[in-house]
Amino acid sequence: ARFAIRPVSSVEVAVAMPTLFRSFNRAGARWSTVEPGDLDLQLNATLYQDRSPLSHAVFMTSLLKFPTAPVALDPDGAMLESILQPGCSSVVPSLGGGYELGWSVVSFQFNAALLVPIVVREAPHRGTSFRQTSTVRARPATGLAFTAGWTWLLEAVGQDQFDAIEENSGGTTGY
């Protein structure tokens, strides 16, 4: 769930709380969970905007994630690896920016951001990451938009609750 408001036309403030519906099949054990992710606070500011027939916009984004997700355990009570945790067990500040090109109803957007976790709990935690997102958006009516796109995540290796490196974490993911 995400809720956003625009107190002024060039600034958007948002709060988001994902809900994860997950099923696991691992080492002969199967289980399913429904759990919250981490709470996100986001600020988007438009730095430049030209509304000519071919509109352009340059914007900045900042994000602050809070470790509100529970630490996930397997059926034997062992903590799951950082990549399988519903949250990051860290306070994560992020700074990024983007560019948008659009016409009356359709726009294309390119975003990039750096996320730097500050570990606050003794639990598996993810590493520093760089995220790039590209989207196409159709706005057939005010307040209604359809968005499709992709995200690339380049992430440093994660660590377990003892700060030992997790061999199967980090790398590049596209979705």
> 89-122: per-residue pLDDT in tens?
999 999 999 999 999 899 999 999 999 999 999 9
According to DSSP, residue 1 is labeled: -
Return the pLDDT at 99: 97
Q: Is 90 exceeded by the pLDDT of residue 152?
A: yes
Question: What phi and psi, each to the nearest 5 degrees, are found at residue 5?
Answer: -135, 160
> 58-88: per-residue pLDDT in tens?
999 999 999 999 999 988 888 988 988 999 9
Length of the chain in residues, anyone? 175
**Average pLDDT taken over every residue of the chain:** 93
Q: State which amino acid sits at residue 19.
A: T
Mean pLDDT throughout 129-144?
94
Spatial CA neighbour of 44 closest among 116, 107, 94: 94
Q: Is the Cβ–Cβ distance between 160 and 169 less than 8 Å?
A: no
Kind of pairing between the strands at 90-102 and 118-119: antiparallel
CA distance 55 to 145: 17
